[in-house]
Homo-oligomer: A and B are copies of this chain.
Amino acid sequence: MIISTKGRYALRIMLDLANHSGEKVKLKDIASRQEISEKYMEQIIAVLNKAGYVRSTRGARGGYQLVKAPKEYAVGMILRLTEGSLAPVECLSENALSCAREKKCAAVELYQRIYDAVNDVIDTTTLQDLLDIEQEKTKRE
């Protein structure tokens, strides 16, 4: 049960953009700050862009910026977009094909509880919350 680099990097990209609101931020700058491969980041931010979570400006002096305020982005939106469903098992995913043992399967109840618990956390935590945590952490240093 793992959140891959795709989702984690997406979160860090969004956080980085949130930390530079108002500016057009170049991918190169995010990459150097976050120490992530620029080329790999391109692919990840492309997804965020297509979904309308960030706005891009092409060409020289171009860059990316957030479309909405940080508190408008639940981390669940970002993780689901980049990772796909965070369901612990396939059969709970949106597009799941029905399972033959569905009717008598006891375990699916357990999986649903796990799923609910995870969804609750990621849907009630926003980018702004992470910003606050970050600030708190650097203050403490």
Residues of A in contact with B (beta carbons under 8 Å apart): 1-3, 8, 11-12, 15, 75, 83, 86-90, 103-107, 109-111, 113-114, 117-118, 120-122, 125, 129-131, 133-134, 137-138, 141
Chain B residues, CB < 8 A from A8:
89, 107
Chain B residues, CB < 8 A from A130:
106-107, 109-110
CB < 8 Å: which of B106, B122, B125 contacts A133?
B106
Copies in the complex: 2
A7 to chain B, nearest CB (A): 9
Q: Which residue of B lies closest to A88 (CB)?
A: B3
Q: Identify which of A12, A113, A141 gathers the most chain B CB atoms within 10 Å of its CB.
A: A113
Beyond contacts A3-B89, A104-B134: 5 other A-B pairs, Cβ-Cβ < 8 A, are: A1-B3, A3-B88, A107-B130, A109-B130, A118-B118
Q: Is B106 a contact partner of A137 (Cβ separation < 8 A)? A: yes
Q: Is A107 a contact partner of B1 (Cβ separation < 8 A)? A: no
